[in-house]
Amino acid sequence: MTAREVAEKLNMTILTGSGDKEVTGFYTCDLLSWVISHANSGDMWVTVMNNLNILAVASLVDVSCVVIPEGIEAYENLLERAKEKDITLIATNRSAANVIIEASKLIGR
Amino acid sequence: MSEEIIRLHYDINDEDFSAAGEASSGVKKTLSALGVSPETVKKVAIAMYEAEINAVIHADGGEADIEITPEEIKVVISDRGPGIPDMEKAMEPGYSTATETVRELGFGAGMGLPNMKRYTDEMYIDTKLGEGTTVTLIVKI
């Protein structure tokens, strides 16, 4: 299932990107060094971080999308840069745990 | 891959961290385009990202020189920062001298040097207090 399909089924908002990458796993952490060395390509990465540095990490790890949970605001500069890099950013009021539990049910992993 | 050596150079100038990772992303793209295996590309990208971030956090930037040969990928990141006073401590996972501001951005987990070591085949650090640090990262193809 693609990031877009997961977002739509869970009523999450796609802020940027095509969302056409396949979600093949999940990862949540806010320490960028942990994410870059432990997350896998294709993961849906859930983080409360909303600064520009998440984009470099997302692109280096090649995650399928980045989900910003808990109703945290994504600022304009983040959105602009994410659009440029074609990174799929998704916003939701759900908690990180809830996003992963529900998305996991959808994709059966 | 052809026999010639491919050399890349990046200036790492990034006062507000907004472009941190650009050099690593560029190298990742080049390696992928050259047909280097995804596993090797990942190792280089992780190790180089950590070195790039370190140069930004501790030295307000620096330079990156990359040499790609059929046998290996060598990344040299040098800065004119304060140098590393205690190398043994710096290599300990979890030890960090990053400021509170830097930590709030998601850095400073104390995983930088350990990650570089873990994802490279060879790592050399040349550091002089008050003069700067040069990190050499080698990943075999």
Q: B23 φ, ψ to 5°?
A: -65, -45
For residue B3, what pLDDT is reported? Answer: 67
Cβ pair B78, B121 in contact under 8 A: no
Per the CB < 8 Å rule, is B22 touching A36? no
* pLDDT per position as a tens digit, B30-51: 999 999 999 999 999 999 999 9
- The position carrying tokens 């890349």 is B8
Compute the distance between CA of residue A85 and CA of residue A109 in angstroms, rounded to an integer.
28
Q: Is domain B6-140 classified as CATH 3.40.980.10?
A: no
* pLDDT per position as a tens digit, A83-92: 999 999 999 9
Q: Map out the domains of chain B as residue ranges.
A: 6-140
Domain limits at A67? 3-107
Q: Nearest by CB to B105, which of A51, A77, A81?
A: A51
ipTM, two decimals, is 0.82
Calculate the average pLDDT of chain B.
Answer: 92
Share of chain B above pLDDT 70, in %: 96
* pLDDT per position as a tens digit, A21-34: 999 999 999 999 99
Per the CB < 8 Å rule, is B20 touching A59? no
For residue B135, what pLDDT is reported? Answer: 98
Compute the distance between CA of residue A96 and CA of residue B34 in angstroms, rounded to an integer.
37
Measured CA angle at A60 (ends B137, B64), to 5 deg: 35
Q: Residue A102 belongs to a domain with what CATH number?
A: 3.40.1390.20
Per the CB < 8 Å rule, is B109 touching A34? yes
Q: How many domains does chain A have?
A: 1
